[in-house]
Amino acid sequence: MNILIVHAHHEPQSFSSALAQQAESSLKAAGHQVVVSDLHKMDFDPVSGRENFTSLKDPQYLKQQIEEMHASEVGGFSADVEAEIVKLEQCDALLFSFPLWWFGMPAILKGWCDKVLAMGRIYGGPKLYEGGIGQATKRGMVLMTTGGGPSAYDGWGLNPSLDVIMAPIQHGVLWFNGFLPLEPFVAWSPVRVSDEERAAYLSSLASRMENLFEEPHVQMPPMADFPNWGHDIRNRYIVVVSQKLERDQRFHDLVADEQAMLADWKRQGKLLEFSISDPNDSQWRAFLKLRATNSKEVESMLSELPLAEYLSFQTTELAKPA
């Protein structure tokens, strides 16, 4: 398989660069062809302008998307943009490697997206989401380092949750263009962890690279579920879960399977939110927000939970926006 790694760190000795190098060597060892666009090494110019093109449809008034469509028809992209577009078109998996900057990607990488993901050649018309160039078969993945630790980004911390921060990349860039996103690989706060923990990050990344085309991807909602860019054809349900039967040893043995199934539902886009009160309180409650076609599907999902026989479920369908 062909893999494109787009790497954005200005220091080759950084841990972010070590992640990109690890990904490259593990993928090559697994027999893949790897192309690396090391944006700083290439001195990539991230600023979009007339220079993106070799000929302009309207030299008087720059409308980037119109010029991109024109350039797509006449082969009019500048050499640097054209070279990156070709790499993107030829890859089976697209990896972005970068340090988290201002809750997003560094400007040089954002500039790569702004220039290379060009209307016409890359996206537009039917080429969106499952119809995009990734064809809902190619894979996309983020390799990221952070300054903050995981508790700052777990939904209870000061910063927005990792899912929120990742949405512009996972949904807005990868899935919008038809690449199936994998769970991001995050090396939390590499500056503050021990040598052993950094070595563990590298070896865990190596394992994920060996399995890049086999690991389950995050299931994103297909465009077909949102006719005419309208609301989701699927519904939302809130399920309040409480204890029905006393806990016994079997209950405790099944908790890990229950958690794995919830994680799988989350990856499949069926479980949108999950929260739970103190599980040691005899009156504990869990709250699930589910995306499903109808209440029958919800019922069937809940019946599959490993702990189902111990639990009571109260399901309410949420109103759709007008």
List residues binding ligand FAD (CB under 6 A): 9, 11, 13-16, 18, 99-103, 145-148, 190-191, 198
Q: For helices 195-210 and 15-29, what crossing angle results, to 10°?
A: 30
Which parts of the chain fold into alpha helices (H)?
A: 15-29, 64-74, 79-90, 107-116, 162-169, 195-210, 249-267, 295-304
> Residue 92 or 163: which CB sits closer to ligand FAD?
163
In the complex, least distance from residue 21 CB atom to ligand FAD, rounded to whole angstroms: 8
- Please work out, in degrees rounded to the nearest 5, the angle formed at the alpha carbon of residue 45 by the alpha carbons of 44 and 47: 145
Name the minimum Å distance from CB 100 to ligand FAD. Answer: 4
Closer CB to ligand FAD, residue 101 or residue 213?
101
Which residue number is nearest to ligand FAD in terms of Cβ?
147
Question: Cβ of residue 8: shortest distance to ligand FAD, in angstroms?
Answer: 11
> Looking at beta carbons only, is 13 or 280 nearer to ligand FAD?
13
Looking at the Cβ atoms of 52 and 170, the one nearer to ligand FAD is 170
Q: How far is the CB of 179 from ligand FAD (least distance, A)?
A: 23
The pairing of strands 271-276 and 286-292 is antiparallel
Gap between the Cα atoms of 295 and 255, Å rounded: 25
Give the residue with the Cβ less far from ligand FAD, 44 or 201. Answer: 201
Name the amino acid, one letter, at 265. Answer: W
Contact 16, 29 (CB under 8 A): no
Taking CA atoms, 250 is separated from 15, 254, 307, in Å, by 44, 6, 9
The least CB distance from residue 17 to ligand FAD, in Å, is 7
The CA distance from 42 to 21, in Å, is: 16
Nearby residues of 321 by Cβ (< 8 Å), 6 or more positions away: 231
Q: How far is the CB of 144 from ligand FAD (least distance, A)?
A: 7
Residue closer to ligand FAD, measured from CB, 71 or 165? 165
d(C-alpha 190, C-alpha 196), whole Å: 11
